[in-house]
Amino acid sequence: MRILLVEDDSEISRRLVSRLTSAGFVVEHAPDAETALDWPDPSRFTTLVVDLGLPGISGIELIARWRERGLTNPILILSARGSWQDKVEGLNAGGDDFVVKPVRAEELIARLHALARRAMGHTGARIVAGGLVLDPAAKSVRKDDELLDLTQMEYRLLRMFMLRAGHIIAQPEILDHLYPMDSERDLNTIEVHIGRLRRKIGKSAITTIRGLGYRFER
């Protein structure tokens, strides 16, 4: 999973990046909201982790601006302030979870996994995009009411695309999703899986954005 950490405290950032990386996450770090707002394609991150007490533009304002731009990725809020008012303000701004600092790495990792499961459709709700209907409970996909014959890898890849329809997904993020613990990963395998998927759902459904990644058309 790919994480963007927005945290101004260099020591806290160093510790979190180290622990999350050791747990298998791919972590990028922005030291303030201004940098985070200019970050290229934040939609490629599985989850965004934001400290509320940022210098300059606050964490609350950063989250609100991201949501105004249409960013739908899960956002986990970090804060040294833990009153119910702070939690309500953060969640109302567009946060999906709230953790009070100092936080144990184990709890943060568990919450990140929980947010990712929720975002990837493990709640059982059907996903409709690009003329397809994906049923997470049955692990099935239908096109024009016809059941598609997909491999497990094709299903996982297609689910990822449908949940992020209209957004560019970079190749490294796809690798992280399909092969989270495999050190022998090869970018060429992505093109193979996507080629097979295109033959089943339509060539125009997935667009190659040269130098950036792939986009599933809405």
Domains of the chain: 2-119 (3.40.50.2300), 127-216 (1.10.10.10)
Percent of the chain with pLDDT over 90: 44
The larger pLDDT score, comparing residue 166 to residue 121, is at: 166
Q: What is the pLDDT of residues 161-185, one digit of tens each?
A: 998 888 888 888 888 777 765 545 6
Q: Which pair of structure tokens corresponds to residue 202?
A: 């339509």
Q: Which pair of structure tokens corresponds to residue 157?
A: 């890849």
Bridge pairing between strands 213-216 and 206-209: antiparallel
Q: Please state, in angstroms and rounded to a whole number, the distance separating the CA atoms of residues 154 and 178.
A: 10
The per-residue pLDDT of the chain, averaged, comes to 87
Amino acid identity at 24: G
Check residue 64 and give its pLDDT.
92
**CB within 8 A of 88, min separation 6: which ones?**
none
- Find the DSSP H helices in the chain: 10-22, 33-37, 59-68, 84-93, 105-119, 152-163, 171-178, 187-201
Check residue 120 and give its pLDDT.
63
Q: What is the pLDDT of residues 60-100, one digit of tens each?
A: 999 999 988 888 888 999 988 878 888 888 888 888 889 88
Q: Please determine, for residue 6, whether its predicted confidence score (pLDDT) is greater than 90.
A: yes
Amino acid identity at 25: F
Flag whether the pTM goes above 0.85.
no
**Other C-beta atoms lying within 10 Å of the C-beta of residue 195:** 11
What is Dmax (Cα atoms) for the chain?
54
